[in-house]
Amino acid sequence: MAVLTESDLVEMTLEGAEAAFARGVTAEELTQAFLKRIAAYNPRYNAIITMNPAALDEARAIDRSRAAGEALGPLAGVPVVIKDTMDMAGLPTTAGWHFLSAKAGGVDLIPETDSPVVARMKAAGCVILGKTNVPILSATGTHASNSWAGPTLNAAAPDRMPGGSTAGTATAVAASMAVLGLAEETGGSIQNPASAQALVGIKPTFALVPNAGVVPLAGSTRDVVGPIARCVRDAALTLDVLAGYSAEDPKTVAGIGKRPKGGYAAKLSATALQGKRLGLYGSGWRNRALSAECAALYERAQNEIAARGATLLEDPFAGSNFAAISKPYSDTHYYDARGMECCPYDMELYLRRLGPSAAVKDYKALAEITKSEDPYGPAGVLAYMNYLPETAFSRQHPTVPPPLTAFLGAREAYLDIIEAVFARHRLDGLVFPQMRNELPLLNSHGVIHETTVSEINIAGVPVVTVPAGYYASGAPFNLVFVGKLWDEADLLALAYDYEQATNHRMAPALSA
């Protein structure tokens, strides 16, 4: 009988899970072990808010198929978590809001069908352990402190913000309560929590992965689903499962023919950085300085990358007018929300998809039951959206898509300059510190000061974040590799080379 120890679970990768299965560990045993770990640590860290009662049954079904010699999916028997906002038939989708949780005195939204990304994970054989915590409407990229389920702690630095909005997935993966997890980003919600907890995250090209059946903030313009994992290979293999056309999400037609031959792990190599040309962060990209400690960590990372044979170019966007495109709603937050004007329209589409048994069937009904905490009101989580003129139109006409004139202009401008700068300097990518300074304290009013969120989410280009060290405080420091549209495989190769050469990620010391 194969023995599975607690140490086997800590930092377990897909390769480790495959090795466990090869020596006779069953999917049921592995699932049970992770459930035991969740029972031990989740009460403190509050990463998972809805457990999947069928997890062990699903694991047993995988074991029966394996024993019968049947063909298995590429992630068969691997325990994973998904973000609360992703529909899973029969389980509530709460969006972190007490109005949408029966446990908190509201009504449960119970989807009748899986979202395409959840269906693809199930088809790949994953055992979904549960759904993870988010802030109200996923409206902040810093924390999940206002969730009906209570705040989520950062497993890597419990006194610091966990990153948002996919705080729960990041904490569950960082704390080894699952092998990997699904995240979703509109404005930093993959890269921020991944970086906050020394993890790998892929924010894919817009429209590569379907986001139908996922509670939207900007489903038509910015929202993307991607993996969070503890290593680059695992993230790449999970993207293979998620990416591709779905009839439920017609915009994914744009990705046909864009996926790499052999999959997203095909280019992973310990020599991928050799001979590559990478652009560095500077005021030409965004006129916001790095903190002194961030700059020192970034300089060390540059030396590590140069030692791998890459050429680094200072501020390739200087003189390009790139930084002038941004129109942030606040100088403090420096967040450009263009594209999010379509939220009411996208929410209307999302609610219709839930099915005829849904407790809330359209945007008008949602606005009615939540009117006491209007998210667009002065104290609401989306109050900042009122600086965009088309927000009012969309709220008044949620069944009609807004014109999105400002967003489309910004996207075209960003893409034009990115294309020109990459061509002029013969760049293979960009490599920046993901944040400009260390994480804010958990109980502060601070926000994550990132370097790429608004620009890459409006442009729709991909990024991969990878661990690159720690601040003196213990807060993680991550790099982000940025590329052109559909460049995921190349970015993953660069991140893999850096990861394998440096091995900066450390397993956090947890307390129950």
**pLDDT tens profile 54-76:** 999 999 999 999 999 999 999 99
**Residue 269 designated active-site:** no
Amino acid at the residue 201:
G
Tokens 């290979």, residue located: 233
CB 232 within 8 A of CB 490: no
Distance CA 396, CA 399 (A): 9
Q: pLDDT above 70 covers what percent of the chain?
A: 100
What pLDDT was estimated at residue 225?
Answer: 98
pLDDT over 80 at 478, yes or no: yes
What stretches of 314-383 show up as alpha helix (H) in DSSP? 343-353, 363-369
Q: What distance lies between CA 88 and its chain's CA centroid?
A: 18
What pLDDT was estimated at residue 1?
Answer: 60
- Of 267, 217, 257, 252, the residue nearest 464 (C-alpha): 267
What pLDDT was estimated at residue 463?
Answer: 98
**Residue 189 designated active-site:** yes
**What are the pLDDT digits (tens) for 396-441?**
999 999 999 999 999 999 999 999 999 999 999 999 999 999 999 9
CA dihedral for 117, 120, 126, 129, sign (positive or negative): positive
476-482 β-sheet, strand order: 48-51, 127-132, 79-83, 180-185, 224-229, 200-203, 463-470, 476-482, 429-433, 277-280, 311-313
Structure tokens at 52: 């999947």
What pLDDT was estimated at residue 330?
Answer: 83
Where are the domains positioned within the chain? 6-502
Active-site annotation holder among 138, 147, 176, 189: 189
Distance CA 131, CA 310 (A): 40
- Of 499, 479, 470, the residue nearest 435 (C-alpha): 479
Distance CA 288, CA 193 (A): 21
Amino acid at the residue 488:
E
Residue 387 vs residues 327, 346, 383, 401, 450: alpha-carbon distances, Å: 10, 19, 8, 18, 21
Entry pTM: 0.98
Distance CA 467, CA 476 (A): 7
**What are the pLDDT digits (tens) for 445-458?**
999 999 999 999 99
H or E, element range at 201 = strand 200-203
Distance CA 160, CA 431 (A): 24
- Of 502, 409, 471, 503, the residue nearest 196 (C-alpha): 471
**What are the pLDDT digits (tens) for 371-381?**
999 999 999 99
**Residue 291 designated active-site:** no
What three-state secondary structure class fits 204?
Answer: coil
Distance CA 48, CA 168 (A): 6
Mean pLDDT of 297-321: 98
Mean pLDDT of 148-162: 98
For helices 488-502 and 292-307, give the axis angle rounded to 10 degrees.
100
Burial class (CB in 10 A: 0-12, 13-18, 19+), 413: middle
Within 10 angstroms of residue 258's Cβ, the number of other Cβ atoms is 16
Burial annotation 322-342 (CB, 10 A radius, 16+ → b, else e): bbebbebbeeebbbbbbbbbb
CA dihedral for 204, 206, 207, 210, sign (positive or negative): positive
Question: Using omega within 30 degrees of 0 as the cis cutoff, is the peptide bond preceding 165 cis?
Answer: yes
Parallel, antiparallel, or unpaired: how do β-strands 311-313 and 277-280 relate?
parallel
Parallel, antiparallel, or unpaired: how do β-strands 224-229 and 476-482 relate?
unpaired
Distance CA 498, CA 301 (A): 9
Mean pLDDT of 349-357: 96
Residue 105 vs residues 54, 101, 102, 138, 429: alpha-carbon distances, Å: 25, 6, 5, 20, 48
Distance CA 39, CA 17 (A): 20
Residue 374 gets the label, from left (phi > 0), alpha (psi -120 to 50) or beta, of: beta
What pLDDT was estimated at residue 332?
Answer: 78
What pLDDT was estimated at residue 14?
Answer: 98
What three-state secondary structure class fits 298?
Answer: helix
Active-site annotation holder among 83, 122, 131, 484: 83
Mean pLDDT of 298-324: 98
**What are the pLDDT digits (tens) for 225-281?**
999 999 999 999 999 999 999 999 999 999 999 999 999 999 999 999 999 999 999
CB 407 within 8 A of CB 336: no
Report the top-level CATH class of 6-502: alpha beta
Active-site annotation holder among 101, 165, 195, 220: 165
Distance CA 433, CA 438 (A): 11
Distance CA 281, CA 290 (A): 9
